[in-house]
A and B are shown apart, each in its own frame.
Chain A
Amino acid sequence: MITQRLNKAIQIGLLLFLLALAPAILLAMDSSDCMDCHSDTDMVGEDLVIEARTFDNTAHAELGCHTCHSSITEEHPDDGLAPSKAKCADCHDDVDEEYSNSLHAENAACGDCHNPHRAKGLTAVSGHDMNIQCFACHEHDAMQSKHTEWLPQADLHISMVPCVSCHSASDDYVISLYIIKRQSGTMFGDFELASYDELNTFSDGKPIQELVDLNADSYISLAELRMFNLDREKKQLRLQGMMTPERLSHDFQIREDRWDCSFCHASGPGAMQVSYLSLAESDGSFKRVTVEKGAVLDALYGTPDFYMVGATRSTALNYMGLVILAGGMVLPFGHGTIRFLTRKNRKDEEK
């Protein structure tokens, strides 16, 4: 991991070094010059427009336009030359190697899934958005019927689990909690992922994080979660949990170990301890706020809509169940013992 990061840093350093050596005319046009035109649809058209707010928050923005489009001159676009484009593999060589060897590579190039001007880190993308990306090619209904052939409650799984949680590898999974909102305003409208603007209407001018993080300490306690879930005024808002990977492998495939439900469902209360609240940002990305350890295992109000059979069972309920079962044993054992000791009385009575 450290070697990969070092390699990447050297590559980026090298690119910057080459840029420094390039003729001064090349540097005369900087990223802000590019954006002067490319943030305006009227000037460059829909295909070439770049949403400045979204691009500025990508890791690519830090590199500047020239890093990837090095052939651009000050004469652009009057020179009529198509600007050069860096290959993704120039920097992301490890991902490229993994992806090139996958079945997926024959059907989609990097750009088919990732727009470099909008690219976000894994945790800045909601589980819902991850799936929308997959559904662009793998049509939703077809996937649902395909999964129904073997997966119990396939519709629930497909709507509540990012495809990549099963179709890529990760060492760690966490529970990401997203705020969803009842859409149509009617009593039984569907709940959908709440946008930044929608959440703003609920937060009374405060940062939307404080809808859940009541004391604004960037840490969501179990008590705060319960308060959010019990707050009647916020009934239009609910928390939806998804099991999301912390890292993605790019060898997207049918992973043999995921046919076994217990890959996700057999972790027991020892796992599923880590969860985050994923909050919509104004640029469409998501930021994470740490949630108290073990909150999703709370028996009732921590995450009332999130339950993974087997994996998020409550220890408190287990003990209550045990007491009830033990109660059922009292009569057989207690009565049975006295029955055995007094068996002579019944024989005498029969005589």
Chain B
Amino acid sequence: MSSKNKIYLQPTPVRIWHWLNALGMITLCVTAVQIRFPEHIHLFANYKTAILLHNAAGLVVTFSFSFWFIYYALVTRNMFKIYVPSKDDLQNGLLRQAKFYLLTYFLGRKNPHHPTPESKFNPMQKSAYLAIMFLLVPLVSLTGLLLTNVAPMRELVMLLGGLKILIAIHFLLACSLCAFLFTHVYLATLGKTPMAYIKPMWTGWEEEDVDDHPHSAS
């Protein structure tokens, strides 16, 4: 026997940030392809449109990142707890979660991690999001901001080694974010139903099966 337990997992500010960020990221990826390969890709009317849209989407992502940061760091003040893996996460959690994704999931076992508002992410998610939200997104945003208007910040560009290095960092990190996006979207479909994890990010509420007789399970 089991019943449904509803948890309010994703507060409204987080959902606003997530979907704003998603819209920005997808726009960035699509426009980036035309910006890098203008003679092959013609998704937008002209090159200038692709660049202006890319710049605008970059600003949206940068501002929504600031919004996210302020919310977790200053409003809820649980950023560290949510995003930084604990000692147990590193010693046991990572292996346990990897074992689930790579083995026990296929055998039909349940996810060993049960999300709560204070512990939303499993150890693998924590590690990935830590790298993404504290390294990749800030670096891509900062390099992007510098590239949006090179002339006034030329000195900073030279300190970093030049325009080519800046472009290389921006391009490779952006590719890494895009690669993560594929994995992120795929893993989001790994719930009991394909929409089980996606729905809470829209509504805020996650439904979880609760076993009414836990001691009877073996």
Q: CB-CB < 8 A to B168: which residues of A?
A: 299-300, 314, 317
Given contacts A156-B150, A310-B38, 19 further A-B contacts (CB under 8 A): A153-B148, A156-B151, A261-B48, A262-B39, A265-B38, A304-B162, A305-B158, A305-B162, A310-B47, A313-B36, A324-B178, A324-B179, A325-B175, A331-B186, A336-B186, A342-B106, A345-B108, A347-B108, A349-B109
CA distance A301 to B167 in the complex (A): 12
B30 at the interface (CB under 8 A from A): no
From 268 to 307 in chain A, residues with beta carbon under 8 angstroms from any chain B beta carbon are 268, 298-307
Measured CB to CB, the closest approach of chain B to A84, in angstroms, equals: 48
Q: CB-CB < 8 A to B157: which residues of A?
A: 305
Measured CB to CB, the closest approach of chain B to A315, in angstroms, equals: 11
Q: CB-CB < 8 A to B179: which residues of A?
A: 324-325, 327-329
A95 at the interface (CB under 8 A from B): no
CA distance A262 to B36 in the complex (A): 11
Measured CB to CB, the closest approach of chain A to B206, in angstroms, equals: 18
B163's nearest neighbour on chain A, judged by CB, is A307
Measured CB to CB, the closest approach of chain B to A328, in angstroms, equals: 3
Question: In the complex, which of the residues B39, B47, B108, B150 contacts A346, with contact meaning CB atoms closer than 8 Å?
Answer: B108
Measured CB to CB, the closest approach of chain B to A332, in angstroms, equals: 4
Question: In the complex, which of the residues A266, A317, A327, A350 contacts B47, with contact meaning CB atoms closer than 8 Å?
Answer: A266
Given A261-B51, A325-B178, A328-B181, the answer on whether A320 and B39 have CB atoms closer than 8 Å is: no
CA distance A295 to B171 in the complex (A): 20
Measured CB to CB, the closest approach of chain A to B186, in angstroms, equals: 4
The answer on a CB contact under 8 Å between B151 and A155 is: yes
A328's nearest neighbour on chain B, judged by CB, is B179
From 217 to 243 in chain A, residues with beta carbon under 8 angstroms from any chain B beta carbon are 229, 238
Given A303-B164, A309-B35, the answer on whether A153 and B149 have CB atoms closer than 8 Å is: yes
From 237 to 255 in chain A, residues with beta carbon under 8 angstroms from any chain B beta carbon are 238
The CB with the most chain A CB atoms within 10 A, among B40, B175, B185, B187, is that of B175
Measured CB to CB, the closest approach of chain A to B155, in angstroms, equals: 6
The answer on a CB contact under 8 Å between A262 and B171 is: no
Q: CB-CB < 8 A to A267: which residues of B?
A: 39
**Taking beta carbons and an 8 Å cutoff, which residues of A are in contact with B?**
152-153, 155-156, 159, 188, 229, 238, 260-262, 265-268, 298-307, 309-310, 313-314, 317-318, 320-321, 324-325, 327-329, 331-332, 335-336, 338-339, 342, 345-350
The count of chain B contact residues (Cβ–Cβ below 8 Å) is: 48
B172 at the interface (CB under 8 A from A): yes
Given A153-B150, A153-B151, A342-B106, the answer on whether A261 and B162 have CB atoms closer than 8 Å is: no
CA distance A262 to B182 in the complex (A): 30
Question: In the complex, which of the residues B55, B107, B182 contacts A328, with contact meaning CB atoms closer than 8 Å?
Answer: B182
The answer on a CB contact under 8 Å between A332 and B172 is: no
Measured CB to CB, the closest approach of chain B to A152, in angstroms, equals: 6
The answer on a CB contact under 8 Å between B182 and A307 is: no
B176 at the interface (CB under 8 A from A): yes
CA distance A349 to B2 in the complex (A): 13
Q: CB-CB < 8 A to B171: which residues of A?
A: 317, 321
The CB with the most chain A CB atoms within 10 A, among B52, B164, B183, is that of B164
Measured CB to CB, the closest approach of chain B to A175, in angstroms, equals: 13
CA distance A320 to B168 in the complex (A): 10
A309's nearest neighbour on chain B, judged by CB, is B35
